[in-house]
Amino acid sequence: MLQLHNVFKTYKTEAIQVPVLQRLSLLIEQGEFVAIMGPSGSGKSTLMSIIGLLDTITSGTYFLNGKDVSVSSDKELAKYRNKHIGFVFQQFHLLPRLSALANTELPLIYAREKKKIRKEKAHRALEIVGLRDRMNHYPNQLSGGQKQRVAIARAIINNPDVILADEPTGSLDSKTGEQVMSIFSEFNREGKTIILVTHEPEIAQYAQRTILLRDGIVVEDRRR
């Protein structure tokens, strides 16, 4: 379960302060499938970075599985993130010089996992996303949908409880986007929490709950 309470996030540069999230409170239970929507600049990616422990809040509290993460050290956060959270982005973020298999293995390399276990888990993750037959391909030898599936394999390799996807279908045609979404739906059926940012209502349909952000506050929170 993750719980944000009265969260403010302000980006401070030398010249100005940019308030992005303003007294945002949000509770997401384990196993939910949530879509976050809202206009460009409303704070969706900022919220995802905070939820995923890539960025910290300016004030307020953030409890993750009962633990106040606003007081955790960077090292603790990195460790937690690697084990429990998987990220998927619009632009895939694959390393061009690594094969699909090596890209998938990356989180395990950071975690200093043994080679044999890395290979086994990466094979398994690529199988789940239907890409066993492409594991030796490099990113420039893969279609957009295949690249995103490699990114998903990488995100799930540690069997995280939460998957955060920021416009994962934003660079895909609608048919390929549907394939990617059905992979997320399957993970959700297995009990994983999925939090997804999207601009597309058809993509948001896959979620059971839609949260609408505007100027850094929740203006709508609907369950189906």
Ligand X SMILES: Nc1ncnc2c1ncn2[C@@H]1O[C@H](COP(=O)(O)OP(=O)(O)OP(=O)(O)O)[C@@H](O)[C@H]1O
81-97 burial, b if ≥16 CB within 10 A, otherwise e?
bbebbbbbbbebebeee
* Stretch binding Mg ion (CB under 5 A), from 6-14, 40-48, 183-191, 208-216: 40-48
Least Å distance between CB 79 and Mg ion?
Answer: 26
Nearer to ligand X, 130 or 201 (CB): 201
The residue among 45 and 158 lying less far from ligand X, judged by its C-beta, is 45
Cβ 151 to Mg ion, closest distance in Å? Answer: 16
Are 188 and 31 within 8 A, CB to CB?
yes
Q: Based on the shown chain and the rule CB under 5 A, indicate whether residue 90 belongs to the binding site for Mg ion.
A: no
Nearest-angstrom CA–CA distance, 223 and 210? 7
CA distance 219 to 185: 25
- Report what 43 binds from ligand X, Mg ion, none; CB cut-off 5-8 Å by kind: ligand X
What is the smallest separation between the CB atom of 161 and ligand X, expressed in angstroms?
Answer: 23
Residue 137 is encoded by which pair of tokens?
Answer: 């391909």
How far apart are CB 107 and ligand X at their closest, in Å?
A: 24
Q: Give yes or no for a contact between 10 and 186, defined as CB atoms under 8 angstroms apart.
A: no
**Least distance (Å) between residue 108 CB and Mg ion:** 28
Residue closer to ligand X, measured from CB, 22 or 72: 22
Closest to 180 in 3D by CA, of 135, 131, 133, 111: 131
Q: Which is nearer to Mg ion, 45 or 146 (CB)?
A: 45
Q: Using the minimum distance from each CB to Mg ion, give the nearer residue, 37 or 183.
A: 37
Which element (helix H / strand E) includes 4?
strand 2-12
The residue ranges that bind ligand X (CB under 6 A) are 11, 13, 18, 20, 38, 40-46
- Determine if 45 is a binding residue for Mg ion (CB under 5 A): yes
66: left (phi over 0), alpha (psi -120 to 50) or beta: left
Residue keyed to tokens 């997320």: 184
Query: Among ligand X, Mg ion, none, what does residue 99 contact (CB within 5–8 Å per kind)?
Result: none
- 99 binds Mg ion per the rule CB under 5 A: no
Of 43 and 86, CB closest to ligand X: 43
Pair 27, 3: CB distance under 8 Å? yes
Residues that bind Mg ion (CB under 5 A): 44-45
